[in-house]
Amino acid sequence: MRASGIHPSAGAGAPPAGGPEERRHFAIARARAATDTLLQLGVRVQVIGSLAKGCFGPGSDVDLLVLDCPRALKYTIEGLVEDCLQGLAFDLVYFDEIPPHKVDRFLEGAVDARHLR
């Protein structure tokens, strides 16, 4: 159900070393880039977790809910997400693998990346 990834914290792809607000703005911009990139491939993704709730902090990762993904791309999109997020840790949750009794919990907190502030 989940795929996780993280880049090393040093190097050209590392997130900015600023304060929490700068990191949150960076995460929003990178989440938008990831969702836009995936949408071009026919993959529909929404943001969930702390970034969607507005409480993204220093230890937070970017959580993405994969709503719809062409079968041939499933489990192969992690590399694209990793590149787009440029050093931010992330989790991918595949909607079709969520147990039925948990679906509502995931959907009620899901936000289109374009609507993040």
What 3-state class would DSSP assign to 46? strand
CATH of the domain at 54: 3.30.460.10
Quick count: other Cβ atoms within 10 Å of Cβ 56?
26
Residue 116 pLDDT exceeds 90: yes
| CB-CB contact of 3 with 78 (8 Å) | yes
Its pTM surpasses 0.75: yes
Q: Is the pLDDT of residue 18 over 90?
A: no
Question: What integer pLDDT is reported at residue 12 of this predicted model?
Answer: 44
Give the per-residue pLDDT at 92: 96
- Total of domains in the chain: 1
pLDDT, residue 112, reads: 97
Give the tens place of pLDDT for each residue, 76-109: 899 999 999 999 999 999 999 999 999 999 999 9
- Is the pLDDT reported for residue 10 higher than 80? no
The domain of 93 spans 2-115
